[in-house]
Amino acid sequence: MEMAFKPFKRLRRGCMLTNKLKAFSLFPAVFSFVIDNKLRRILENMDRKMIPMGVKPGMKVLEIGCGSGFVTEFLSNAVGDAGFVISIDVQENMIKKAKKKRAHLKNVEFLIQDVSDLNTVKDEAIDLAFCYYSFHEVSDKEKAVSELLRTLKHGGLLSIKEPKLRVKEKYVRSHKEFIAGKGFRFVESIKKCDFLGCYLKFVKD
């Protein structure tokens, strides 16, 4: 009797994992003011997140889903003049806003690009792939993770933060399982969660 139910159990578990990997809808560019304002500056205290999330001076960082560039400013400052940030977003209007608001950032390039097809980025060119409140929105996570594996250097980091209000813990857990199953090694973050979101950090060995 028990044998007969095993395949169903496995199937059900498989479906659950797929469901938990669902792509959330894109955050609309017309509402970018909600995530790019003075209040967020106070609440998020981004400067203090840079070191725990793996950002160091001189690094070449790929920022995935930069929106209008709120986080980009802090990344730019943290990598300094010797570093460089490639900030991509799949929405043309987000990149337009980012270019307008953050034209003063000299060590940043803003590109309209899907992380699932990083055709402008060479193999093993990136020290750190940085996904701030964006990984859950990526529609093709399979291709995205394989592109990140290709473009990261050996020893390079993939650092993710997901927003608590929008992404339940079960989704964060399945992102962790999924990415770890694709060739990245999970490394314990200094903080697992703060009051706004949860962190995941991986290394490409």
Tell me the helices (H) and strands (E) count for the chain, helix number first: 7, 7
Give yes or no for residue 174 binding ligand SAM (CB under 6 A).
no
Cα angle at 126 between 177 and 65, to 5 degrees?
65
Q: Report, in Å, the least distance between residue 161 CB and ligand SAM.
A: 8
Answer yes or no whether residue 71 interacts with ligand SAM by CB under 6 A. Answer: yes
Of 59 and 71, the one with the shorter C-beta distance to ligand SAM is 71
Binding flags for ligand SAM, 26-65, as an x/- string (CB under 6 A): xx-------x----------------------------xx
Q: Is 110 in the site for ligand SAM (CB under 6 A)?
A: no
Strand order in the sheet with 185-187: 108-112, 84-89, 60-64, 126-132, 152-163, 197-203, 185-187
Out of 62, 79, 105, 115, name the contact with ligand SAM by CB under 6 A: 115
* 88 is a site residue for ligand SAM (CB under 6 A): yes
State the amino acid at position 48 in one-letter form. Answer: R
Options 55, 138, 145, 152; binder of ligand SAM; rule CB under 6 A:
138
Verify binding: residue 162, ligand SAM, rule CB under 6 A: no
CA distance 144 to 138: 8
- 155 HSE (CA, 13 A, CB side): 1
The answer for residues whose C-beta is within 8 angstroms of residue 190's C-beta and 6 or more apart is 52
The site for ligand SAM (CB under 6 A) is made up of: 26-27, 35, 64-67, 70-71, 88-91, 94, 114-116, 132-134, 137-138
